[in-house]
Amino acid sequence: MAMRMEVDVDALFKAGKILEDALELAWKLLDHGERSGLKIADAVEAHILEHAKPAFPCNVGPDRLAAHFAPTDDRPGSLEGAHLVKIDAGVHVDGWIADAAFTYPFDEEGERLALAAREALLAAAEVIRPGASVADVGKAVSEVAKRHGLKPIVNLGGHEIKQYDLHAGLFVPNVPQGKGTLEEGMIVAVEPFLSTGRGRVEDGSIATIFSLMRPRARGAARQLLDYIRREYRSLPFAEKWVVRRFGSSARLHLYTLVKSGAVYAYPELLEVPGSLVGQFETTFYVDRDGGQPVVDTFKFLAP
């Protein structure tokens, strides 16, 4: 068995505190009436950059848009008329990543989803300990969903995290299935996604988040690829980041890199039209006493 890399716990929890403060900023902006997804994401990322680096772009997900949308200058992501919005962000300190999210409700229907997702995360937190199976975590989430008349999204879930590796091996489902066991010293993000729809997402037509696959390119796109490799390594990055850095031509070069297989494009993930998706997430450090939350997302929507 391969030896587990020793975690820099101080760096991990430092990342968690920076992220917690950034998410609190987003919550306050929403409370004060901000309805531009782009302005919220920019504020979150600016706060993170004052203290560390983003582990991935700030995701803004209204209603049925479950994940993988980072607002751009061309697509600012208006939240007007939405029932809810999910804000999902990440921070890394020397590659040690904290990943967390909350759902902000705009009305009673949105509040039902948000409260249920928060309850599901609390239920999952009770299960996390060395020796627990990922199916146990999924069972805790799905039981909460069932009590609220909602469906857990079967093809979304949490994930193990390693240094500079956001999705590292272990998948943590939102349903009672899957293989794998939590071990002492693991870092895991747990993120219940609950839905009023069918409980499954599909790829949309828009991609605003990307990551490096292989550092090979020719021609004009080579400069952009070299920058991506140096600045982000294998961590996800936003289209708007490179466009703001290199100008509008970066968009063309970016899609050239996607077409060649040098860069991967993450399509937005959507539930069926008319449905709503709620999400709450935090990162846990698994020690002998259980799962220690790296980010306190439970305070959002607290009674």
- Active site (catalytic) residues: 88, 99, 159, 167, 191, 281
Q: Which pair of tokens denotes residue 102?
A: 């909350």
Handedness of CA 255, 256, 259, 261 (dihedral sign): negative
Gap between the Cα atoms of 296 and 150, Å rounded: 24
Query: How many H-runs (helices) and E-runs (strands) does the chain carry?
Result: 7, 15
Backbone angles phi, psi at 59, to 5 degrees: -90, 135
Bridge-based pairing state of the strands 157-161 and 171-173: antiparallel
What is the rounded distance in angstroms from the CA atom of residue 122 to the CA atom of residue 192?
A: 10
Tell how strand 237-238 and strand 277-279 pair up.
unpaired
Q: Which helix (H) or strand (E) holds 208?
A: strand 202-212
Six-digit token pair at 119?
Answer: 């309850």
Residue at 85: amino acid letter: V
Could you please report the per-residue DSSP string of 224-272?
A: HHHHHHHHHTTS-EEHHHHHHHH-THHHHHHHHHHHHTSEEEEEEEE--
Give burial (CB, 10 Å; 0-12/13-18/19+) of 16: buried
Other beta carbons less than 10 A from residue 126's beta carbon: 12
User: 3-state class of 221 per DSSP?
Assistant: helix
